[in-house]
């Protein structure tokens, strides 16, 4: 195939930004890293990096995630590509943003590894953030809020086994409002996506709860 008529020219860089969410202490939290150099030194930004010639965009995302922690079973979805001219003062940079959801339980493993430079922030109490990352974060939160209503995105925020109360808490946290327990259970169970494990867990000095799991494992995109 004749490909000799292609003339190289100056062109934009491409980065990936990875927005990793979890629910901790009843709040939706995002993982941010502190920048240790200019531009935007000492502000918080998403984990991310330049896409190399030798890797696909999605592989770049996975590389970033692995470099931060060996998280397994996470839900990963492309969010949007941000292509304005002056996003980065160093160079023309187009960023492909992804978001990932991890369960609270994975955060514990996370903390055990020495992720000194990264911290979890409630999306309601954000620090100063670099670049256009606050705008990107808002876009992601809107997407998650919207999509949880008609998808099984919540699975990404829960451990493999969970109670209906835990599931309800995930919805309530993301939607920012209380839900009726009976209606919630009725609907969830009627969707046929959950499978009872006939196994109970005791989470305090009260009646133990039945554990469930999601039937569909397709939801795990990045294992």
DSSP of 23-88, one letter per residue? EETTEEEEEEEE--SSSSTTSEE-SEEEPPTTS-HHHHHHHHHHHH----SBEEEEEEEE--TTS-
3-state SS, residue 152: coil
* Binding range to DNA, per CB under 7 A, among 50-58, 68-76, 124-132, 204-212: 204-212
CB neighbours of 192 closer than 8 A, spacing ≥ 6?
A: 215
| Contact (CB, 8 A) for 87 and 4 | no
Among 9, 112, 206, 218, binds DNA (CB under 7 A): 206
How many residues sit close enough to DNA to count as binding (CB under 7 A)? Answer: 21
Member of 117, 180, 195, 199 binding DNA (CB under 7 A): 180
Q: Which helix (H) or strand (E) holds 108?
A: helix 104-112
117 included as an active-site residue: yes
Q: How far is the CB of 187 from DNA (least distance, A)?
A: 5
Question: Considering 55, 117, 195, 199, which one is annotated as catalytic?
Answer: 117
The answer to whether 218 contacts its own copies (rule: CB under 8 A) is no
| Residue 10: contacted member of its own copies, DNA, none (CB under 5 to 8 Å, by partner type) | its own copies
Q: Which is nearer to its own copies, 54 or 198 (CB)?
A: 54
Please tell me whether residue 84 binds its own copies under the rule CB under 8 A.
yes
């Amino acid at each position: 195939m004749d490909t000799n008529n292609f003339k190289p020219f100056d062109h934009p860089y491409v980065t990936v930004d990875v927005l990793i969410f979890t629910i901790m202490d009843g709040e939706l939290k995002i993982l941010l890293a502190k920048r240790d150099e200019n531009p935007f030194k000492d502000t918080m930004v998403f984990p991310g990096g330049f896409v190399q010639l030798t890797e696909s965009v999605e592989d770049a995302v996975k590389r970033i995630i692995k470099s931060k922690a060996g998280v397994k079973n996470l839900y990963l979805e492309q969010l949007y590509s941000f292509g304005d001219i002056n996003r980065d003062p160093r160079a023309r940079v187009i960023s492909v943003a992804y978001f990932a959801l991890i369960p609270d339980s994975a955060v514990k493993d996370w903390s055990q590894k020495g992720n000194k430079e990264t911290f979890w922030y409630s999306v309601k109490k954000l620090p100063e953030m670099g670049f256009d990352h606050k705008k990107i974060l808002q876009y992601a939160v809107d997407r998650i809020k919207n999509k949880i209503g008609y998808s099984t995105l919540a699975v990404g925020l829960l451990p493999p086994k969970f109670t209906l109360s835990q599931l309800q808490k995930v919805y309530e946290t993301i939607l920012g409002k209380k839900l009726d327990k009976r209606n919630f259970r009725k609907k969830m169970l009627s969707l046929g996506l959950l499978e009872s494990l006939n196994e109970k867990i005791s989470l305090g000095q009260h009646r133990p709860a039945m554990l469930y799991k999601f039937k569909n494992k397709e939801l795990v995109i990045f294992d």
